[in-house]
Structure 1
Amino acid sequence: MSEAQTLVDAHHHVWDLDVRPQPWLDEPGHEPIRRNFSSHALRSAATRPIAGRRLTSTVVVQCVASVPETRDLLARADSDPLIGAVVGWADLTSPAIGDVLDDLRSGPDGRYLRALRHVVQGESDPHWLQQPDVERGLAAVGERGLGYDVLIRSHQLPQAIRLADRLPELPFVLDHAGKPPLARQDLTDWTRLVRELARHPQVRCKVSGLITEADHEKWTVDDIRPVWDVLLSAFGPDRLMFGSDWPVCLLAGGWNRWAATVEELLDGCSDTEIHAVLAGTATDFYHLTPAPTKEGTPCS
């Protein structure tokens, strides 16, 4: 498949509430997505191309702190050619974290496990990522050639910066750009901290989850553009990756509207840079099947 045909959605979820409840969906405002979602439903929803590319591969990401959920996601990846990688969960604080990871990877579908994630945004400890047990667990993740997805809110960005300082060998990606407070329209602290984090070369960033941080009903491309401009200048396109955060994005417009927004944000970028954001960075980070790149002029 040529570069111009490749589009990776680096962040989506699936769940079957009859098999595994998602307690976070009980929070007010989540009613529209309080139902089952499969990767087949994503195929049906993701019909709009971005820069002429249609969806070809995805990364499915954990939702709850559950090793059985991770096993289910690995099985889904093994049976669905759309899913190219899994971001799973395991207890980073457990002394047995290495054994758990080895067990997950040893299964017939274990090859799809490419990263781990924990919902740090729900932890009250402002130093959770620096707890000795957590750092030991993250070291075990890195030793096995896995990456780490960092899910935090904007006020927790100092934790991610300290993580990058203390574990420079651990490749990690900032989910949802650290959830900038778009609804408050005050990006000053977020901008400063994201730029500091981006100085660490092992860090990538997902251009995802932004529309649900904005006003769900009234957001426009112009509301998202200041965040995009900061990310592009801080990380560069080679360290940014497109993600939909489907089906959560349905709360604020859905997959196709977000795709149209990303295409507009990419206007002025070269073919090489578009490829990086839409496929190349995710392919490299999650060890997906690579696609060729070509040269071009930089983003204007």
Structure 2
Amino acid sequence: MTVDAHHHVWDLSVRDQDWLTGPELQPLRRNFTVADLEPEARAAGVTRTVLVQTVTVPEETPEFLVLADTHDLVAGVVGWTDLTRPDVADELARLRELPGGRHLKGVRHQVQGEPDPRWLLRPDVHRGLAAVADAGLVYDLVVLPHQLPAAAEAARSHPRLTFVLDHLGKPPIAAGTTQPWATAVRALAALPNTVCKLSGMVTEADPASWTLDDLRPYAETVLDAFGPDRLMAGSDWPVCTLAGSYAEVLDAARRLIPSAAHTAVFETTATHVYGL
């Protein structure tokens, strides 16, 4: 794997990660840095990564841009800004003028935490998405299965904007069911301006006992729906460590994807979509 299209870092001495609650997430309540990731990435053959936002605070994105500017491994940043602010276009321009600003490739919001399943269709969000498109950035979708129809409607409304679906839209892998997720994700994939990340599967499965067979129906669905040229692999490190090591998670992804599609899924899709 050449490009890891999705990972995180955090420093709890800088700010808390308030989503790290409950005993099951306790192993993540420590610092995870790019320096921690580098040896694992190199050992797995990863030469470039995309660093993705974790919390909805404006200070995080400038910090990530500096990390990308100082670590060769990090080739791109998907940051956060408030899409609903009236001056979102000016804010995106400001971010790109900061140190490391050239590494800003996309924007993400924790839509999965929004109580309104149609949050992406709000007029103020619509305006913000248009600003992201105008800035030449992409928009990462972190949504739950019931929010996929709104995501498809948003993508249909913004044909100039590339929407990247994180973690396959979080299908119910642990439950072993594919519907209605599969129908909804295929509807999203039918739109040409959508891309999917093969990421986050091991933690949507049973973290303690997942097998390749548990993951395969979901990986095969998105590979068939999006095709290899619109599918990219990501580790979701360090969250993935709840269910397996960095090497194990990437190995599982490689084994789930036919070798003929490896170059696209593990390198060229992410390189093209994020302009790495």
Q: Provide the residue aligned with 1:89 in structure 2.
A: 80
- Following superposition, the deviation at residue 254 of structure 1 comes to 2.2
- Following superposition, the deviation at residue 109 of structure 1 comes to 1.3
Contact 1:47 1:256 in 2 (8 A): no
Q: Provide the residue aligned with 1:22 in structure 2.
A: 17
Q: Provide the residue aligned with 2:54 in structure 1.
A: 63
Contact 2:41 2:47 in 1 (8 A): no
Task: Please give the secondary structure, in 2, of the residue aligned with 1:46.
Answer: helix
Q: 1:228 aligns with which of 198, 206, 219?
A: 219
Cα deviation 1:217-253 (Å, max 9, x = unaligned): 1110000000111111100000000100000001111
- Following superposition, the deviation at residue 95 of structure 1 comes to 0.2
Task: Please give the secondary structure, in 2, of the residue aligned with 1:211.
Answer: helix
Contact 1:48 1:259 in 2 (8 A): no
Map 1:146-185 onto structure 2 (within 5 A): 146-185=137-176
Contact 2:117 2:146 in 1 (8 A): no
Q: Provide the residue aligned with 1:35 in structure 2.
A: 30
Structure 2: gaps (5+ residues): none
Answering whether residue 186 of structure 2 is matched by residue 210 of structure 1, we say: no
Aligned positions, number:
276
Equivalents in 1 of 2:57, 2:124: separation in Å?
18
Contact 1:175 1:205 in 2 (8 A): yes
Q: AA paired with 1:125?
A: D
Q: Provide the residue aligned with 2:127 in structure 1.
A: 136
Cα deviation 1:191-237 (Å, max 9, x = unaligned): 11111110001100000001100001111000000011111110000
Contact 1:48 1:260 in 2 (8 A): no
Task: Please give the secondary structure, in 2, of the residue aligned with 1:111.
Answer: helix
Equivalents in 2 of 1:197, 1:274: separation in Å?
23
Q: Provide the residue aligned with 2:4 in structure 1.
A: 9
Answering whether residue 271 of structure 2 is matched by residue 286 of structure 1, we say: no
- Following superposition, the deviation at residue 47 of structure 1 comes to 5.5
Contact 2:229 2:269 in 1 (8 A): yes
Answering whether residue 100 of structure 2 is matched by residue 109 of structure 1, we say: yes
Equivalents in 2 of 1:244, 1:255: separation in Å?
7
Map 1:180-259 onto structure 2 (within 5 A): 180-259=171-250
Task: Please give the secondary structure, in 2, of the residue aligned with 1:67.
Answer: coil
Contact 1:46 1:55 in 2 (8 A): yes
Equivalents in 2 of 1:97, 1:233: separation in Å?
36
Map 1:71-82 onto structure 2 (within 5 A): 71-82=62-73
Equivalents in 2 of 1:146, 1:56: separation in Å?
22
- Following superposition, the deviation at residue 72 of structure 1 comes to 0.3
Equivalents in 2 of 1:45, 1:33: separation in Å?
17
Answering whether residue 269 of structure 2 is matched by residue 274 of structure 1, we say: no
Contact 2:165 2:197 in 1 (8 A): yes
- Following superposition, the deviation at residue 171 of structure 1 comes to 0.7
Task: State the superposition RMSD in angstroms.
Answer: 1.1
- Following superposition, the deviation at residue 28 of structure 1 comes to 3.6
Equivalents in 2 of 1:284, 1:26: separation in Å?
36
- Following superposition, the deviation at residue 67 of structure 1 comes to 1.5
Contact 1:12 1:58 in 2 (8 A): yes
After TM superposition, which residue ranges in structure 1, 4 or more long, deviate above 4 angstroms?
A: none
Contact 2:207 2:243 in 1 (8 A): yes
Contact 1:77 1:86 in 2 (8 A): yes
Equivalents in 2 of 1:170, 1:47: separation in Å?
32
Q: AA paired with 1:7?
A: T
Q: AA paired with 2:209?
A: K
- Following superposition, the deviation at residue 48 of structure 1 comes to 5.0
Equivalents in 2 of 1:48, 1:176: separation in Å?
23
Q: 1:44 aligns with which of 39, 44, 63?
A: 39
